[in-house]
Amino acid sequence: MKVAIVTTGDEIMSGNVVDTNSAWIADRCWMLGHKVVWHIGVPDDRRAIGEACKMASKKADTVFVTGGLGATVDDITVESAAAAFKKKMAFDEKIWGNIKSFFKRLGRECTPNNRRQAYLPKGAKPLTNKIGSAPGVMAKLGKATFFFLPGVPKELYHIFDNSIQPWLEKKSDKYHQKFLRCFGIPEASFDERLKDIKLGNVRLSFRVTFPEVKIKLVARGKNAAKEIASVEMEIRGRIGDYIFAENDITMETKIGELLTKKGLKLSIAESCTGGLISNMITNVSGSSNYFERGIISYSNRSKIEILGVKEELIEKYGAVSKECAVKMAEGVRQISGSDIGLAVTGIAGPSGGTAQKPVGTVHIAISTKDGNLHKHLCQPRERTAFKIVVAYQALDMVRRYLIRSW
Amino acid sequence: MKVAIVTTGDEIMSGNVVDTNSAWIADRCWMLGHKVVWHIGVPDDRRAIGEACKMASKKADTVFVTGGLGATVDDITVESAAAAFKKKMAFDEKIWGNIKSFFKRLGRECTPNNRRQAYLPKGAKPLTNKIGSAPGVMAKLGKATFFFLPGVPKELYHIFDNSIQPWLEKKSDKYHQKFLRCFGIPEASFDERLKDIKLGNVRLSFRVTFPEVKIKLVARGKNAAKEIASVEMEIRGRIGDYIFAENDITMETKIGELLTKKGLKLSIAESCTGGLISNMITNVSGSSNYFERGIISYSNRSKIEILGVKEELIEKYGAVSKECAVKMAEGVRQISGSDIGLAVTGIAGPSGGTAQKPVGTVHIAISTKDGNLHKHLCQPRERTAFKIVVAYQALDMVRRYLIRSW
């Protein structure tokens, strides 16, 4: 099925807001085998919205229109589209009732403007919105099926998941799919190791989403699940240790799952990542059950005083060294009484590098009851990209320890 | 001037990559008083690219086309656009020379494919790209001036800043502008306090960029700078303490500037923000000069052991309390020997709330030689948004202390 997206809104067109909705919708379509062939962005302007919708209906079978469903006078998306196709708008008592009770639940006043939201193009279908006042709208305009959705991402996701996803799935061939999320494998070696894999009816594709690579496996027909499982097994045989999770599971969620399953606690000593690793870990709800503490030992003094790194060790090897990283990991494990101590020390740059230890140098260590592990890397990158890659490297090291694939 | 943007690329259309370039370009245009009236996204497809460029040339005086300038066979943007306008492509020896020496500098091999990048539409002008192999292209096609730019953001920014910004400025009226970045002021009160301000020839507008609000002041003519200064003074008289920085300065950069100027050091004890505040602070290059250490005291034990919070205090008041926050701030200041100790403790949710202390409850404290400050908030939001707002609140408290506007 061919899909077009029309994005409306002055705030998008002026660059105030980055349009993430289009990529989100396109990604959902891609996962179901539908292709976005045309995307148009227009300001909150009747003529432009009408023209964009007309054009979209000529390019695609299904059109998603986002933004401009609110209650203010700027919110003219649906009526502008309807006018372009010469469809009349009709007042819907039931929607008006829903809007009134939505505001009642919130304990807020429903304004006369909200009445505008109860008008739909004749023959159109409202799509329930439980978290906002504006319902989505499904309407046949021209030869295309139009879905009008609010610009607020969480309202858009909500309506899409409940009312559109099932419809899109019906329009797809029956298929199975699976995503394998990889980290740390060099790109060249990736191709090399997978190139002669026997795929049969399974389609394999990649996406690089920094710093991850996602492998997507898709198959159709009644043996699809089995065929994917067989290709997955072959892939895991070749690069299994780089696959950190499947489908929607992130690195930090995976670490949380593994720690919870094994009943282990983690503590972290960060220098060059400056709190990013702990911040990722604590983005997961429930992380207080397995994350004990984090120490951001930015100064040498803090490494010495809190983590028990010896001053002589830093003088001899430097704060960015294997010796210091290992001692930091041991230190944070010991003071926290955690099962695993993770430590990172390095030079984020852009300044602070030397010939022996250039910008990008990092030492990562973990300390456990089974002993210590250490890794030395050089990742000369822009400061924030450096922090992200190092955080992933560090968490991946914990993951590998937990699944014993070190 | 009317502007259109054409975004090309399968990776954008399939939702693999979010298109941030369009918002970046639109924002630059907006700042110079030019308006983006139409945006079109198309896959790497000759016909679609040609059609999109044709349409854009009818909608706008200036068209920006991004993506597809690389050396692979998929990179067909410029030739597709030229073909749509029946312009011939011509090989440019000088560009070819530049491409060859670019690769030489990198110590890499220049492939025959790179030769493709030396073809331009007849009469077009190359725009120097010092950080990538593909030059930008400026060409008159139809009635519009086209700028072709690489999809890689840092190459796009580089070419834009060096070759396009000056051109756009010339096409703008002479004008002055200033941005005032605000945090923490309730929206309703914002309008209320500024509504009767005397603007004269100055145009005032807002942008909400969560969690900030930006005020933009623009004026034209020979007294523009003076007129803006006078409106700014009036605004500062009304909401000055909410303005944390001007123009491109972020909250964390501002804090760094103030600490550096005063020769003070900061240390941070975080609970519910889980490392985010320290991560923000350490995103600024040179932050090791004023950031001593961070403690992510997620467990009660770590609050007691590292920060010296008394167990009885936690039993009596709870870990999320004014008393605990103040003690954490004192503790981290004392152990680090820093001038300022900042501490945050709260309930991020979605679970963990009680009737007395609902999800979103936060206590922030700072400890200084002048005494302690404390703030109590309730910010019931989605977990990561909660962390961001609380981090800003905490940093803003430090800022206010540093400029004595507490």
B36: tokens are 């983006």
Same domain, A255 and A129: no
Question: How many CB pairs (< 8 A) connect A and B?
Answer: 233
B46: closest CA of chain A, how far (Å): 13
- Domains: count for chain A: 3
What pLDDT, on the 0 to 100 scale, is given for residue A25? 96
What pLDDT, on the 0 to 100 scale, is given for residue A187? 64
Same domain, A153 and A15: yes
What is the rounded CA–CA span in Å between residue A139 and residue A124? 4
Same domain, B102 and B142: yes
Same domain, B345 and B223: no
What is the rounded CA–CA span in Å between residue A255 and residue A277? 12
A210 touches chain B (CB under 8 A): no
Which residues of B, range 320-359, sit inside 8 Å of A by Cβ? 335-337, 348-352
Tell me the backbone φ, ψ of residue A121, rounded to 5 degrees: -60, 145
What pLDDT, on the 0 to 100 scale, is given for residue B406? 53
B37: closest CA of chain A, how far (Å): 6
Sign of CA pseudo-dihedral A157, A161, A165, A167: negative
What pLDDT, on the 0 to 100 scale, is given for residue B308? 97
Last residue of a domain, one of B230, B246, B262: B246
Q: What is the CATH number of the domain that holds A39?
A: 3.40.980.10
Same domain, A259 and A238: no
- Give the mean model confidence (pLDDT) for residues A264-289: 97
A53: closest CA of chain B, how far (Å): 13
Among A15, A20, A285, select the one facing B383 at the smallest CB separation: A285
- Give the mean model confidence (pLDDT) for residues A69-91: 91
B404: closest CA of chain A, how far (Å): 27
Same domain, A144 and A181: no
Among B7, B26, B291, select the one facing A15 at the smallest CB separation: B26
What is the rounded CA–CA span in Å between residue A366 and residue A354? 26
Report chain B's C-alpha Rg in angstroms.
27
Same domain, A202 and A291: no
Coil, helix or strand for B247?
Answer: coil
A92: closest CA of chain B, how far (Å): 32
End-to-end Cα, chain B, rounded Å: 45
Same domain, A358 and A315: yes
B210, B216, B292, B296: which to substitute to probe chain A, counting the most A Cβ within 10 Å?
B296
What is the rounded CA–CA span in Å between residue B181 and residue B240? 10
A365-379 pLDDT, tens digit each: 999 999 999 999 999
What pLDDT, on the 0 to 100 scale, is given for residue B188? 65
Among B18, B291, B306, select the one facing A23 at the smallest CB separation: B18
Contact A302, B336 (CB under 8 A): yes
Note down pLDDT in tens along chain B; length 406 residues.
999 999 999 889 988 788 999 999 998 998 788 999 999 999 999 999 999 999 999 999 999 999 999 877 778 999 999 999 999 999 999 999 988 888 888 777 787 788 888 999 999 999 999 888 889 999 999 999 999 999 989 899 999 999 999 999 888 876 788 999 999 987 667 777 888 899 998 988 877 778 998 898 988 888 999 999 999 999 999 999 999 999 989 999 999 999 999 999 999 999 999 999 999 999 999 999 999 999 999 999 999 999 999 999 999 999 999 999 999 999 999 999 999 999 999 999 888 899 999 999 999 999 999 999 999 999 988 899 999 999 999 999 999 999 986 5
Strands A340-346 and A175-182: unpaired
CB contact under 8 A, B295 and A296: yes
What is the rounded CA–CA span in Å between residue A363 and residue A376? 5
Q: What is the CATH number of the domain that holds B218?
A: 3.30.70.2860
Same domain, B112 and B207: no
Last residue of a domain, one of B228, B246, B264: B246
B30, B39, B333, B344: which to substitute to probe chain A, counting the most A Cβ within 10 Å?
B39
Domain that holds residue A193: 175-246
Last residue of a domain, one of A226, A246, A266: A246
Q: What is the CATH number of the domain that holds A262?
A: 3.90.950.20
Residue carrying the six token digits 């502007």: B3
B92: closest CA of chain A, how far (Å): 33
B271 touches chain A (CB under 8 A): no
A276 touches chain B (CB under 8 A): yes
Same domain, A261 and A356: yes
B211-246 pLDDT, tens digit each: 998 898 988 888 999 999 999 999 999 999 999 999
Same domain, A277 and A192: no
A115-172 pLDDT, tens digit each: 888 999 999 999 999 888 889 999 999 999 999 999 989 899 999 999 999 999 888 8
B3, B46, B59, B279: which to substitute to probe chain A, counting the most A Cβ within 10 Å?
B279
Same domain, B281 and B210: no
Mean pLDDT of chain A: 92
A39 touches chain B (CB under 8 A): yes
B380 touches chain A (CB under 8 A): no
Q: Which residues of A touch B309 (CB under 8 A)?
A: none
- Give the mean model confidence (pLDDT) for residues A35-64: 96
B178-221 pLDDT, tens digit each: 999 999 987 667 777 888 899 998 988 877 778 998 898 988 88
What is the rounded CA–CA span in Å between residue A255 and residue A249? 10
Helix pair B46-59, B77-84: axis angle to 10 deg: 60
